Every structure is written in C-alpha cells, then in structure tokens.
C-alpha cells in the first residue's frame, strides 16, 4: 500500500523559510512524478510545484523564485524548500503521487496523497 507522509510544517514569520519533506513507501518511487499542493481555509486546493521522474521541475507562478522542489530517489523522499515566505502562503501543504506520465498541475491526475502539514506565516 502506498503511503506518503509529510513533515516540516510550522509557524514562521514573513520572510522566513521552511523545508517540507514527503516520505514515500509501498511502491517504486523513482519512476513517478511527484507534486506539492496546498489548501488554505475556504479555498480550493491549488498546485504549488511538481518534479518529474528525471528531476524536471515546474512551479506555480505565485511561488516561482521562492520555492524549490527536489527529490532523493535513494531515500524515497521529495522536498519543498520554501524561502521568503509570505502570509498568503499559509495553508495545509500536501504531497501527491502521479501514477503515470509527465508532471501536471491538476490535482485529479494524482492518485495518492499525504495527510498534509500545516504551514502558517505570520505578518
């Protein structure tokens, strides 16, 4: 059974940094694209970043230049380094696995999801 477990969330002041981790188990990791999404209270889940099987990356415009997604296929872990955080980055952050193909921004294309980790950025 596939499991994704996020960690690294917390409370940080605006301008600060956090590094999220997502540990995967239960299936081959290296041949899957992985994504990060977030959901703020009262809003729909939105795409943040994704990384392909060979390390290609894609970002939402709102985080481009501030966030970096990476993966370690030995540790079966995907990371999201978040710098220059803003109050509008406050949300629950989820990692997700895309079962086939290249990265996409559509949440419905991802089949397994973690439980989420809360990120709160104070002004």
pLDDT digits (tens, 9 = 90+) for 58-104: 999 999 999 999 999 999 999 999 999 999 999 999 999 999 888 99
| The predicted structure's pLDDT at residue 55 | 92
pLDDT per residue as tens digits for the range 24-46: 998 888 899 999 999 999 999 99
User: Is pLDDT above 90 for 8?
Assistant: yes
**Mean pLDDT estimate for the chain:** 96
Burial tier of 67 (Cβ tally within 10 Å: 0-12, 13-18, 19+): buried
DSSP 87: G
| The predicted structure's pLDDT at residue 28 | 80
| The predicted structure's pLDDT at residue 14 | 98
| The predicted structure's pLDDT at residue 27 | 83
With beta carbons less than 8 A apart as the criterion, state whether 82 and 20 touch: yes
């Amino acid at each position: 059974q596939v499991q994704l477990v996020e960690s690294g969330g917390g409370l940080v002041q605006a301008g600060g940094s956090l590094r999220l981790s997502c540990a995967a188990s239960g299936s081959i990791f290296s041949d899957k694209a992985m994504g990060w999404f977030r959901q703020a209270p009262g809003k729909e889940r939105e795409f943040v970043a994704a990384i392909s099987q060979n390390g290609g990356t894609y970002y939402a415009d709102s985080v481009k230049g501030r966030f970096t997604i990476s993966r370690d296929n030995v540790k079966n872990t995907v990371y999201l380094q978040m710098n220059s955080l803003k109050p509008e980055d406050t949300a629950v952050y989820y990692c997700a696995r895309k079962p086939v193909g290249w990265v996409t921004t559509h949440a419905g294309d991802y089949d397994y999801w973690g439980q989420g980790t809360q990120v709160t950025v104070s002004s």
